[in-house]
Structure formats: C-alpha cells, structure tokens
A and B are shown apart, each in its own frame.
Chain A
Amino acid sequence: MHSDEAQLVDLVCKGDQRAYTELVMRHLPSIEVYAKRIVSDEALAQDIAQDVMTVLWQRSSDFNPTKARLTTWLHRIAHNRCIDVLRKRKREVSLDANEPQREASERAPSTSAQSSIDAELRRLPESQRTALVLTYYQNLSNREVAEIMNSSVRAVESLLVRARGNLKKQLEAQQ
C-alpha cells in the first residue's frame, strides 16, 4: 500500500475532510466502474459506489493497512454490496410468477452505446464475471481477488479459465 494512503486513512479516522476527498477522488471511479460491470445498472452501481465511500468515511478505523491495500478493502466492500444487489434482484425475479425467468443480468437495463463485450460480460455467471472483472479490468493480483471473493487462488484461476472460455465461444460465434 502507498504509505501516503496509510497516512490519509489515518487522517480520515480523525475527521479530516481534505484527506477523505483525496481518497474518494482516487478510488471512486474504479469502484463505480467495477460495480457497473457487475450489476449492469448505472444508477444501482452509483449507489453502491457512494455506499462504499460512506463506509470509508464512517469506518476507516476498521481498515488495517498491514493486512491489505486500501483498494482491496474497498473492492471487498463493493463486492459484498454487489452480491446483495444481485441476490435481491434474483429473489424479485423468482417471486414474479408472470414474468418468464431469465438471468438477472440479462434483463438488467443497459446504458446507451454499450459495446458488445459489455453485453457478453453480462451473460457470464456472476462468479466468473467477478473474477474476470477484478483481475482484468481492476488490475488486482490473484491473491487479492481470492481475498475479495473469499476464495482460494486456485478457485479464482478456475473461474478465470471458464470465463475466458465462455467469452471465446461467444466471440467465435460472432465471427
């Protein structure tokens, strides 16, 4: 972890708003983009990102810089929020008997001009999508991804292989 980030978190614990603004400006875009790729809903993703930043303000004293980087800690909180949202959405779908049951990610509202890859990512199972997004787009190490997903490095690698395999099939089908 950047030593200046540890100092900034320390200042945030003491209520320093300037340090907090600095950390939010560094981490909010990455968390927002991560949530967008996972829940595939712009408004929900923004709520999740703001929620994560609220946790940073309220409970920064819970963060231990010797255990993880700040980005890993924030991604873990975001991951848990995303899982909650996806589960809630799935329950709503299953409760609605009139609506044909599709994958939650398939019926999620899409933002304008989303590329084909973003649509394909939405079709991946949630765990494969999470592993791929954290590793490929969020540039986190396999150990950090395993920690965020509360899993092992081997399990994460297996998810990555399956995710890339599914995307490859979809890419081949397009060509």
Chain B
Amino acid sequence: MSRKDNSHKRARDVVAAYGADPRAWPGEYRADVHHALSAHDDLAQQLSEARALDDYLNQSSVVAALDGECVAKQIAQHVSQQSTWRARLSLRLEGLSELMSSHAWKPVFAASITLSAGFALGSVVYVPAEDWSGVEQYSFTMVGEEY
C-alpha cells in the first residue's frame, strides 16, 4: 500500500472513529487527515455524514444535579481518611517543622533544659539513707525462720 493510500485510509478511520470535529482527532494524525481531506473528494461525503452524527450527539440533555460544595462537606465531615504511613510521617514532620519555625518551642526548650539539668545534678549528689544491698538475703532468712 502506497503512502497516499495509507493516508487516505487513516483519514477514513479517524473520521469514522472521532467524527468531523478536528479538535477530537488525535493530534499526531490531524495534519495528515486535513491533507487527505483536501486531496480526496470521497472523504468530503464521509465528513458530512460524520458532522450530521456529531450534531445528533450534541442533542444529549444529560446534566449534573448534585451540589459539589454540599457533597464535599458531607464526605469530609463524616468519612475518615485512610492515609498511608508515608502521608502520616509527612504530616507529622510538617507539624514539627511548623512548631520549630514558630516561637512556641522556646519556653518548652528552656523548661526541658532546666529539668534535664535537675536530673543530672540529682544523680550525682544523691546518697541513699540506708544500705539495702543485703535486703534479699535478709528476706530469705526471715522466711526460712518462720517455716
């Protein structure tokens, strides 16, 4: 089959599938179809029939009735999201980054430093009031004496 025949066949197929409106034709074939239409008279008849069918299709009267805002509100308020671990992690990290970028963390940071310093000092200077190292042995002795 020659290139010219191919182009003619492709133009026929495109009009048969997508109709007469060039905007509906696949972009990669549009120029070829236009060229074939100008070169072959029989395609003009096919195009005219396709246009009549397009006009018929345009008579469809189906319209949307739902209120998008209302539907969105209902769903968002009553349905919980199923987020993946990646989405949850991203959300947490974002929250943390927001907190760090604000000034709210400064008093919390100061309080945690003070608390940590308190624990560190306490562990160094703390001396037990009694020596409890022999308490286990003492308890067993007591139980043995009773029975």
CB distance from A97 to the nearest CB of B (A): 33
Does A17 lie within 8 Å of B66, measured CB to CB? no
CB 8 Å contact bits of A101-140 with B (1 = contact, 0 = none): 0000000000001111110010000000000000111000
- A53-B72, A53-B75 as given contacts; A137 in contact with B60, CB under 8 Å: yes
Docked complex Cα distance between A20 and B73 (Å): 9
CB distance from B79 to the nearest CB of A (A): 6
Q: Tell me if B105 counts as interface (CB < 8 A to partner A).
A: no
CB 8 Å contact bits of A144-175 with B (1 = contact, 0 = none): 00000000000001001100110110010000
Docked complex Cα distance between A113 and B24 (Å): 28
Does B87 lie within 8 Å of A14, measured CB to CB? yes
Partner of A24, one of B59, B61, B68, B87: B68
Of A36, A113, A164, most B-chain CB atoms within 10 Å: A164
Does B65 lie within 8 Å of A46, measured CB to CB? yes
Across the interface, which residues of A come within 8 angstroms of B71, CB to CB? 24, 28, 49-50, 53
Partner of A118, one of B52, B60, B72, B75: B60
Does A117 lie within 8 Å of B64, measured CB to CB? no
Q: Tell me if A21 counts as interface (CB < 8 A to partner B).
A: yes
- A32-B65, A33-B62, A50-B66 as given contacts; A117 in contact with B56, CB under 8 Å: yes
Partner of B66, one of A15, A32, A135, A164: A32
Does B62 lie within 8 Å of A58, measured CB to CB? no
Q: Tell me if A72 counts as interface (CB < 8 A to partner B).
A: no
